[in-house]
Amino acid sequence: MARDPKYDVLFEPVRLGPKTMRNRFYQVPHCNGVGSDRPGSQAAFRAMKAEGGWAVVCTEACFVDLEEDTAPCPISRLADEGDIRNHRHMTDGVHEWNSLAGVELVHLGAFASNLESRGVTFSSSVNTSPWTLTTYTREADEDDIRGLHRLFVEAAKRAEQAGFDIIYVYGSHSVLPMQFLSPYYNRRTDKYGGSFENRARFWIEMFHALKETIGDRCAVASRISVDQILGPAGIESRGEDILRLVELATREGLVDVWDINICDLSDYGEDAGPSRFNKSNHQAPFTTHITAHIKSIADVPVINVGRLTSPDDMLEVVSSGQADIIGAARPSIADPFLPNKIEAGRLVDICECIGCNVCISRHERGVPLVCTQNPTAMEAYRRGWHPERFKPASDSSAVLVVGAGPAGLECARVLGERGYDVHLREAEPEVGGHVREVMRYPGLAEWGRVISYRQARLDMLKNVEVHTGVGAMTASQILDYGAEKIVLCTGARWLGDGFSPVTQVAIPGVDAGLPQFLTPEQVMAGEPVGDRVVVLDADGYYTGASLAEYLADQGKTVSIVTQLPFVAPLTEWTLEVNNLHRMLHEKGIDQYPHHWIDRVEPGNRLKAALYNVHRDGYRRTTTPIAGELPRRAGTEEQVIECDSIVLVTARHPNDGLFTDLKARKESWATAGITGVYMAGDCYAPRQLSEAVFDGHRMAREIDSPHPQRPLPFIRERIVWDEAEPVAAGR
Amino acid sequence: MTPAALPDYDVPDKASFRMMVAVKQVGRLRDDVAIADDGRDVDASRLDYALNEWDDSALEEALRLVERLGGGEVVAVTVGPERADEVLHRVLAKGAQRAVRVWHDDLAGADAITIARALAGIARHERPDVILTGAQSADQAQGATGAALARMLNLPHVGVAVALDWDGAGPLMVVRELEDGGHHRVALPTPALASVQTGANQPRYATMRMIKAARAKPLVFVEGGAALDRGAFGRVVRAYLPRVDRGAEMLAGDADEVAARVDEIIRETVGDR
């Protein structure tokens, strides 16, 4: 198939100073939880995007010296020769596919944690950040500022040696240049503070320094947040400062490409907006006039971002003049081959990002990213997985996959790509498993793409049959089915007895068999919920808060009880937490953090005994006594009355079918069955991204000796070398 | 319009009841549609093929009738080239006992009456008690083959059946679907023909065991040139893709802006009311 001519404009080259990108698809700098200290993973991850058609592929933020870090989150560094070699591996990989490589040089200032470097960072004033707390910056004097520029220049030279084509002055997300420009951070009274010219000086000087060092050989890119989303306390896109800065830099020809977004680093969920709160192209109202302003001065290309996943949206962005270049981070993670698929007319094959921000959440916790939609993300190096290439089936086994939830859909898809004959059987009339419920939570409709993408792919695979509405299969039916390999993907369920990790026991009086108690499945199935509802949330991720919102939107009076310090702490990593809590506050959802329920008195009106999880004595008893808590046992409790309790307390695997089949293992051989495996939540409940991953892995490794155990993968680590003890680890 | 005089083939003696089901392998359009060089059909290289959904429901009705009767045979018949064997294998896997394929290269693109003549030629050999067809095919959607087939064989016939029942002795009881959501109950003396509406039932899936077992079931090829001895009863003159006159207008903006523009467009097109 060929490219639809309406997308031709997306494949026009764009000049970036001395360089030219071959199409308009640009992977903007983004973190991936590995950085330049793991060059194997870094290069394989970035090169995949170049192979997939992204004309520019950038690193994440890259430190210019040794003093700053963002530990535990790993990013890049260009401080010495070793760093050059590591980065060179990435640029070589990117160049192999005729793409350009970009590096985002950074001084983090107030946002550096320095937990590992133990260094001190400079800022415009003495600052710390809501992320960093306890670690403050030193206010840079003029000597320090000259030193900072020198570090930048040295790093730029290293960047050129490392093979980079585009070198950034990173100024968005309130890193150092913005800490000078924005009065939110800059309280100076010297020539670097006060008036616009003074506050802009540091930034303009950075541009000059870069231009002079490499300007005729590499493109100078400026990443800039045109609005800190702090209102008048900070930089505003409709305010004067940002327009004047952009005008100044453009007029003096200091910037070859503008990479524009919004936000302050303390809440960068306003930039990397999750789909729950921000729809595709959500930044346009802030950025469109900035592009127009730039264009009125000079024809310098402008990049916009906004979780653009659809080719038609991308087309609109370029055709309308909103931007020249389609910037993307998350859409390029979900589908590194997005540009190539548009080129080949394979629009249905595009795997669209769902905006769950699980990728970001892993980096935020200091580990390599993962992607719910693309299980091969960050697995190219360590497991050798390529999103478009699959090792052909090594035998002619026919595979029965039981359950078409996220794991089953993905397993059947990859088995189909490998050429296996597959029957995917789903009890319900529609595929999707528990994602069909999750996608109906407020704001999470885009998560339905986990289902629709796989449904479309399966529809095209001739060797995969999908059977729906067949009811729950029994062990006998499976033994009789005629398949050689069985993969059970029967998912998990929420427990209905109040069992949780808080106390590891059920809660007396709680019983989802009674109408007053409901599991998430029962709520979404439309079972009646009373007017006053308590959501009992031991899970800490999206389910409790989403159900609370779902019920509040129906006019119920809702409270959330959680043992955790606040509702949904895991959404801190996905950058949803601030807006989530604003939502809970705005919708009048009461919260009882640090609390749990000891027992519930049944009746039409439920009486739940609520207690603070810290009610016990804080002094541990010196001599333990068998049968007694080794501290004073607190007894204070308060009774709350409600009509319904929603139980988001714990999940449990639906592995009964596996137990039944295992009990009849002697019949397997006569039935022609060579293996029965489990993938996804039925093996062990886990996050959605991991269920999809598990289905994928099982399919890739189903012909390995023990498919239930993952094959070993490369751990990118330093192994001590006796011959070169000094070189090793340098 | 008479049944085609098709060559003999090995038809087993009727031990019990016999249902004949006419099935078709239909072409499914993908994203890239193109017209063939001769300008009279869709380019076949850009089609996917599948069992016609209506025929799947017809087959399911036949299988259920035989199950309720406690015995009997379902014979599936198709008029199609070699690739149509795939559909016959699927139908055998689902539970039909035998399958027959009729073909002659000149039957490519044949009209509904000619196809019906070929099917009628097989029915003459098979002498079924009940013939079921799908109400229409997904690709050509003529809706004519079943009626033509019944007429040629002088069989009582109804269309758009959504439920069937037969005790093997009395009439074939059929419920038909009417346009306004009503239903029509009809009793037909057998042998009879009914064309079945999709959604009449949930067609069964074939398990892998059933698919493997189907490979041993008889699939017979019958040369179909005799169906052309009266000439064609219709011919496709031209196939073309509709011309795109105007592109769609993309309505951009927030909900209020889009609503205002929609209001404008309605007033422009339909006028104020």
Task: Say whether residue A1 is in contact with chain B using an 8 A CB cutoff.
Answer: yes
Give the span between the Cα atoms of A313 and A310, in whole angstroms. 5
Task: Say whether residue A728 is in contact with chain B using an 8 A CB cutoff.
Answer: no
- Based on its alpha-carbon atoms, the radius of gyration of chain A, rounded to whole angstroms, reads 28
Look at residue B217 in the predicted model and tell me its pLDDT.
97
Which residue from B minimizes the CA distance to A422?
B208
A130: which residues sit within 8 A by CB, 6+ positions away? A266
Which pair of tokens denotes residue A467? 């059977």
Domains and CATH numbers, chain A: 5-364 (3.20.20.70), 398-491+654-700 (3.40.50.720), 494-616+631-652 (3.50.50.60)
Where is A219: in which H helix or E strand? strand A219-225
Which pair of tokens denotes residue B69? 């009767």
Which pair of tokens denotes residue A473? 């299969």
**Mutual angle of helices A196-214 and A240-251, in 10-degree steps:** 30
Give the span between the Cα atoms of A227 and A263, in whole angstroms. 6
Is B252 part of any domain?
no
Look at residue B233 in the predicted model and tell me its pLDDT.
86
Look at residue B273 in the predicted model and tell me its pLDDT.
59
Task: Say whether residue A703 is in contact with chain B using an 8 A CB cutoff.
Answer: no
Catalytically annotated residue among A170, A268, A453, A683:
A170
Percent of chain A with pLDDT over 90: 96
Average pLDDT of the segment spanning A274-297: 96
Is B34 part of any domain?
yes
Average pLDDT of the segment spanning A427-442: 98
Is B135 part of any domain?
yes
For residue B202, list chain A residues with Cβ-Cβ distance below 8 A: 469
Do residues A61 and A175 touch, judged by C-beta distance below 8 A?
Answer: yes
Q: Is the peptide bond before A177 cis (omega within 30 degrees of 0)?
A: no
pLDDT tens by residue, A493-552: 999 999 999 999 999 999 999 999 999 999 999 999 999 999 999 999 999 999 999 999
> Which of A717, A725, A13, A718 lies closest to A382 in space, CA to CA?
A717
Look at residue A1 in the predicted model and tell me its pLDDT.
74
Which residue type, as a one-letter code, is found at position B147? A
- CB burial of residue A529 (10 Å; 0-12, 13-18, 19+): buried
Q: CATH number for the domain including B174?
A: 3.40.50.620
* A623: three-class secondary structure by DSSP: coil
For residue A467, list chain B residues with Cβ-Cβ distance below 8 A: 205
Average pLDDT of the segment spanning A284-295: 96
Do residues A519 and A544 touch, judged by C-beta distance below 8 A?
Answer: no
Is B95 part of any domain?
yes
Which residue from B minimizes the CA distance to A424?
B207
User: β-pairing, B172-177 with B157-165?
Assistant: antiparallel
Average pLDDT of the segment spanning A605-627: 96
Which residue from B minimizes the CA distance to A477?
B207
pLDDT at A393 over 80: yes
Q: Partners of B25 in the beta sheet?
A: B51
Taking the CA of residue A135 and the nearest CA in chain B, the distance in Å comes to 43
Which pair of tokens denotes residue B153? 């064989």
> Which of B128, B115, B123 lies closest to B74 in space, CA to CA?
B128
Q: Which of A58-62, A90-94, A226-230, B247-251 has the lowest mean pLDDT?
A: B247-251
Do residues B251 and B262 touch, judged by C-beta distance below 8 A?
Answer: yes
Q: Which of A411-415, A421-425, A522-526, B237-241 has the lowest mean pLDDT?
A: B237-241
Do residues A181 and A239 touch, judged by C-beta distance below 8 A?
Answer: no
- Answer yes or no: do B208 and A347 touch at CB < 8 A: no
Look at residue A726 in the predicted model and tell me its pLDDT.
60
Look at residue A531 in the predicted model and tell me its pLDDT.
98
> Which of A174, A197, A194 lies closest to A108 in space, CA to CA?
A174
A543 CB-side CA count, 13 A: 27
- Answer yes or no: do B32 and A345 touch at CB < 8 A: yes
Look at residue B82 in the predicted model and tell me its pLDDT.
97
Which pair of tokens denotes residue A458? 């399966």
pLDDT at A730 over 80: no
Q: Quick one: how far is CA A202 from the chain centroid?
A: 33
- What is the band of A444 on the pLDDT scale with cuts at 50, 70, 90? very high
pLDDT at A391 over 50: yes
What is the residue range of B165's domain?
18-228
Taking the CA of residue B206 and the nearest CA in chain A, the distance in Å comes to 9
Is B79 part of any domain?
yes
Measured CA distances, B138 to A573, A625, B25, B47 (Å): 50, 78, 9, 13
Other Cβ atoms within 10 Å of A96 Cβ, number: 11
Task: Say whether residue A3 is in contact with chain B using an 8 A CB cutoff.
Answer: no
Average pLDDT of the segment spanning A372-391: 98
Task: Say whether residue A313 is in contact with chain B using an 8 A CB cutoff.
Answer: no
Give the span between the Cα atoms of B22 and B196, in whole angstroms. 11
A711: which residues sit within 8 A by CB, 6+ positions away? A383, A701, A704
User: β-pairing, B219-223 with B98-103?
Assistant: parallel
Candidates B87, B205, B210: best to mutate against A (most CBs of A within 10 A) is B205
Look at residue A728 in the predicted model and tell me its pLDDT.
47
Give the span between the Cα atoms of A375 and A351, in whole angstroms. 11
> Which of A496, A550, A556 lies closest to A530 in space, CA to CA?
A556
Is B36 part of any domain?
yes
- Answer yes or no: do B250 and A482 touch at CB < 8 A: no
Q: Which residues of A519-663 form beta strands (DSSP E)?
A: 532-537, 557-561, 590-592, 595-601, 606-612, 638-642, 644-648, 651-653
- Answer yes or no: do A345 and B205 touch at CB < 8 A: no
- What is the band of A460 on the pLDDT scale with cuts at 50, 70, 90? very high
A170 is catalytic: yes
pLDDT tens by residue, B3-53: 999 999 999 999 999 999 999 999 998 877 889 998 988 998 889 999 999
Look at residue A725 in the predicted model and tell me its pLDDT.
60
pLDDT tens by residue, A124-167: 999 998 888 899 999 999 999 999 999 999 999 999 999 999 99
Total number of domains constituting chain B = 1
Percent of chain A with pLDDT over 70: 99
Is B197 part of any domain?
yes
> Which of A373, A658, A651 lies closest to A490 in space, CA to CA?
A658
Q: Partners of A139 in the beta sheet?
A: A123
Instruction: Say what the alpha-carbon torsion angle B230, B232, B233, B239 is, to the nearest 10 degrees.
Output: 180
- What is the band of A457 on the pLDDT scale with cuts at 50, 70, 90? very high
Task: Say whether residue A429 is in contact with chain B using an 8 A CB cutoff.
Answer: no
Average pLDDT of the segment spanning A561-588: 98
Catalytically annotated residue among A30, A107, A173, A423:
A173
**Alpha helix stretches (DSSP H) within A631-687:** 656-663, 668-671
Candidates B207, B209, B258: best to mutate against A (most CBs of A within 10 A) is B207
* A560: three-class secondary structure by DSSP: strand
Query: pTM score, two decimals?
Result: 0.94
pLDDT at A665 over 60: yes
- What is the band of A224 on the pLDDT scale with cuts at 50, 70, 90? very high
pLDDT tens by residue, A168-184: 999 999 999 999 999 99
Where is A61: in which H helix or E strand? strand A56-63
- What is the band of A729 on the pLDDT scale with cuts at 50, 70, 90? very low
Print the SS3 string covering A146-196: HHHHHHHHHHHHHHHHCCCCEEEEECCCCCHHHHHHCCCCCCCCCCCCCCH
pLDDT at A475 over 90: yes
